[in-house]
Amino acid sequence: MNLLKLIFTWWNKQTLGTFFYTLILGKFVGEDEFGNKYYTSSKGKRWVIYRSNVESTKIPAEWHSWIHFLRQDIPKNNEKKFSWQIKHEENMTGTKKAHKPEGSLSNESSKDMKKYEVWKN
């Protein structure tokens, strides 16, 4: 079943073409804390092979900056983080963990949403 997913779908890790391209021309450069693997070619192309479903928000900030050529050095897993930095989390839109602000129709709590206030003389 995994072989069929690899051949016929692009949203499950990688396509067959990406698999062969990585096998022949790819040089493994690193892996992030989520299991995504990063590769580069001799011509300077950079790409990621996702651990599970293809979702660009699964790439942490330091690897995102590397893959988009904003930094040249390869990120290390033990890079120092500031105290105000939180752990990277993928986009949760469409899941139960999605952000639902106060007043949103999908939020259980209700908010008094007046569209305007009457002027008093």
Whether residue 60 contacts residue 32, with contact meaning beta carbons closer than 8 Å, is answered with yes
Q: What are the tens digits of pLDDT across the range 97-119?
A: 888 887 777 777 766 667 777 77
Cα(47)–Cα(38) distance, rounded to whole angstroms?
6
Q: What are the tens digits of pLDDT across the range 33-90?
A: 889 999 999 999 999 999 888 888 889 989 999 999 999 999 887 777 888 888 888 8
Mean pLDDT across 19-30: 91
pLDDT at 10: 63
Which amino acid, 40? T
Whether 7 has a pLDDT exceeding 70, the answer reads no
- Give the pair of three-digit tokens for residue 74: 């390869």
Between 92 and 1, residue with greater pLDDT: 92
pLDDT band, very low/low/confident/very high, at 9 (cuts 50, 70, 90) = low
Torsion region of 116: left, alpha or beta (phi above 0 gives left; psi -120 to 50 gives alpha): beta
User: Helix or strand or coil: residue 49?
Assistant: strand
Domain boundaries, the chain: 2-67
